[in-house]
Chains A and B, each alone.
Chain A
Amino acid sequence: MLLDTGYRAGPAATLRESLYRIRALASNNTLIRLRDPGQTISYVVMPMVLMLVLKPLYVRAVEGGTTKVVTGLLVMFSVFAISIAGNAILAERTWKTWDRLRVSRAPAAELLIGKTLPIYVVMVAQQTILLVYGCLVIGLPIPGNVPLVLGAILLWAFTLLAIGALLAAVVRSHGELSVITDVGALTLSSLGGALVPLSLMPEWAQVAAQASPGYWALQMLQAAVVGDTAGVLLPAAILLGIALVCGVFAIRRLTRGWGRGGLL
């Protein structure tokens, strides 16, 4: 006699079942994250140290140096955190567990939400911790419009998650992902003005900076911290566009699985 799982069709029951499965997936992925926290810890601790060290330099070099050092390093190390998302998704391929999940009753959307939700929370937490640290230790003025800052963090984390998922869907190995995220993150965030204030960079670099998501994230966060809602809108729209393009591509790739064409 086969087990009756209690599954019954119907909108309410379907939603309950769906949430139940997403919770199970998210719990599993949270466990995995908690048992291997090294990368996350380093991307929180390193910018904290650098903020302390670089603050005097920023303050002397540019106007609003405290804001720029906090938001700049926040953006730089949040870009590094793309590798957390990428590795977490790519690991499902290395472990060959993604196909096990695809065979389950959970549809692709649930698998993706369950997989990415804990990573998203980690990314949001990283940025929030750095911002709070910036206020409490570095001397960043406490933002007047907290919901605006929170919205900016949520959007930037979403963009990073989508980029990370895209990378995980297309790279062939953890080594390849590591090269792309490390080199790419350093290049894009530096170019975007996250390491050295834009005003101190060469003119060509200031123009090229606009090609970097890090530039728009910096503009958005700096505007949000000072409560400039209008200044948040354009960067937010651009980042949302980047997130949607990357996200759609990643979802298409991940829902089909890697199949036998993958090199892993």
Chain B
Amino acid sequence: MLQAIDLVKRYGPVLALDGFSLSVAAGEIVGLVGHNGAGKTTFVEIVSYLIRQDGGHVTIDGRPPSASRGRVGVAPQHIALYPSVTVREHLTLFGKLAGLRRAALDGAVEELTVALRMGAFIDRRTAGLSGGQQRRVQAATALINRPGLLLLDEPTAGADLETREAMLDVVKQRAGDGAAVVYTTHYLPELVELQATIAVARNGKIIARGTYDELVDGLPGEVRLIHDNEEEVRVSTTQPAATLIDLLGRAERPISTIEVHNPSLDDLYRSLAVSDAP
């Protein structure tokens, strides 16, 4: 569905993308992670045709972004809503801009109202909504016409638990229906819940890609023991459980605290960031 090859983008002296390549198949969720400035939002803006790349090329279902307007649902990082317009009026506007009419439009509004749990505030102006509610409205405007490609740029940033749950449910459902999803986030556990393929961006390029299991395989976790005399033992290991058993067998003093830290996506990111450091 989405193919981006060797994208290059400069902002004056700053090289925002430096050979950024990423492909996303229909029905696939790709979690795009990376520090601020890694190139995630620039990539989303190029695919959305908001900005043009300086090099490389992008196709969406075989077409360039310029020919794919309306076929891509975009929920940008920042809230971008009309303060004096109600939630329903937002959905109606973006639905109509996507070409939806009458029954199809009403059906899409109703479906998203339920799926994103917006019933309680559907006729309220967005200026009066909480940050989490605004996030849901913003996502709904991107989802309204069931686009084949979804670009969700930190859709749960600063959101409450209800928003996060609703958002993840809808994203999983849309991917299940065949949409390709690019989901940028700093909340790495969300990507595990979405069973997303994870792509790690750093310095304007993708430095690793794979499933969670593939990427964390071989990464060291940590076992931490604290004895009652408050002596602390920390062991970095690729096999935390086996190491813990070994340490417990050799312990000579009572133990007050045991912590087993399996390798996480944060560890993965740190390890990739270090190994890729210039």
* Residues of A that sit less than 8 Å from B by CB: 1-3, 5-7, 17, 20-21, 23-25, 27-28, 31-32, 35-36, 95-97, 99-107, 257, 259-260
- A205 CB to closest chain B CB (Å) equals 42
Do residues A95 and B83 form an inter-chain contact, with CB atoms below 8 A? Answer: yes
- B128 CB to closest chain A CB (Å) equals 13
A24, B92: Cα distance in complex, Å:
8
Most A CB contacts (10 A, CB to CB) among B99, B101, B146, B148 go to B99
25 residue pairs from A and B, CB less than 8 Å apart: A1-B178, A2-B179, A3-B100, A3-B145, A5-B98, A5-B100, A6-B99, A7-B99, A21-B97, A23-B96, A24-B97, A28-B82, A28-B85, A31-B85, A36-B84, A97-B81, A100-B94, A104-B70, A104-B94, A104-B98, A105-B69, A105-B99, A107-B69, A257-B50, A260-B11
Interface assignment of B108: CB less than 8 Å from any CB of chain A: yes
Which of B71-79, B113-121, B219-227, B235-243 is found at the contact surface with chain A?
B71-79
Chain A residues whose C-beta falls within 8 Å of the C-beta of B177 in the assembled complex? 1-2
Interface flags for B168-211 (1: CB within 8 Å of A; 0: not) read 00000000011100000000000000000000000000000000
Interface flags for B87-128 (1: CB within 8 Å of A; 0: not) read 001001110111111001000100000000000000000000
Do residues A32 and B82 form an inter-chain contact, with CB atoms below 8 A? Answer: yes
Q: Which residue of A lies closest to B92 (CB)?
A: A24
Interface assignment of B49: CB less than 8 Å from any CB of chain A: yes
Taking a contact as CB atoms closer than 8 A, the residue among B89, B145, B147 that contacts A28 in the complex is B89
A23, B148: Cα distance in complex, Å:
25
A5-B74 contact in complex given A95-B80, A102-B50, A104-B69, C-beta closer than 8 Å:
no
Interface assignment of B141: CB less than 8 Å from any CB of chain A: yes
Taking a contact as CB atoms closer than 8 A, the residue among B50, B98, B101 that contacts A99 in the complex is B50
Chain A residues whose C-beta falls within 8 Å of the C-beta of B74 in the assembled complex? 100, 103
Do residues A5 and B85 form an inter-chain contact, with CB atoms below 8 A? Answer: no
- A37 CB to closest chain B CB (Å) equals 11
With an 8 Å Cβ cutoff, the count of chain B residues facing the other chain is 38
Chain B residues whose C-beta falls within 8 Å of the C-beta of A36 in the assembled complex? 84
Chain B residues whose C-beta falls within 8 Å of the C-beta of A102 in the assembled complex? 49-50
Q: Which residue of A lies closest to B86 (CB)?
A: A31
A48, B54: Cα distance in complex, Å:
55
Do residues A96 and B89 form an inter-chain contact, with CB atoms below 8 A? Answer: no
A5, B145: Cα distance in complex, Å:
8
Chain B residues whose C-beta falls within 8 Å of the C-beta of A100 in the assembled complex? 74, 76, 80, 94, 141
Chain A residues whose C-beta falls within 8 Å of the C-beta of B70 in the assembled complex? 104-105
Most A CB contacts (10 A, CB to CB) among B82, B94, B141 go to B82
Chain B residues whose C-beta falls within 8 Å of the C-beta of A257 in the assembled complex? 50-51
Taking a contact as CB atoms closer than 8 A, the residue among B49, B78, B101 that contacts A96 in the complex is B78
Chain A residues whose C-beta falls within 8 Å of the C-beta of B69 in the assembled complex? 103-105, 107
Chain B residues whose C-beta falls within 8 Å of the C-beta of A3 in the assembled complex? 100, 104, 108, 145-146
Do residues B72 and A103 form an inter-chain contact, with CB atoms below 8 A? Answer: yes
Most B CB contacts (10 A, CB to CB) among A95, A99, A103, A105 go to A103
* A-B contact sample (13 more), CB < 8 A, given A95-B83, A99-B76, A103-B72: A2-B148, A23-B96, A28-B93, A32-B82, A95-B80, A95-B82, A96-B76, A97-B80, A97-B82, A100-B80, A102-B49, A103-B48, A104-B97
Q: Which residue of A lies closest to B79 (CB)?
A: A96
Do residues A6 and B104 form an inter-chain contact, with CB atoms below 8 A? Answer: yes
- B178 CB to closest chain A CB (Å) equals 7
A260, B48: Cα distance in complex, Å:
15
Do residues A32 and B108 form an inter-chain contact, with CB atoms below 8 A? Answer: no
Chain B residues whose C-beta falls within 8 Å of the C-beta of A106 in the assembled complex? 97
Q: Which residues of chain B (119-158) have a CB below 8 Å from chain A?
A: 141, 145-148
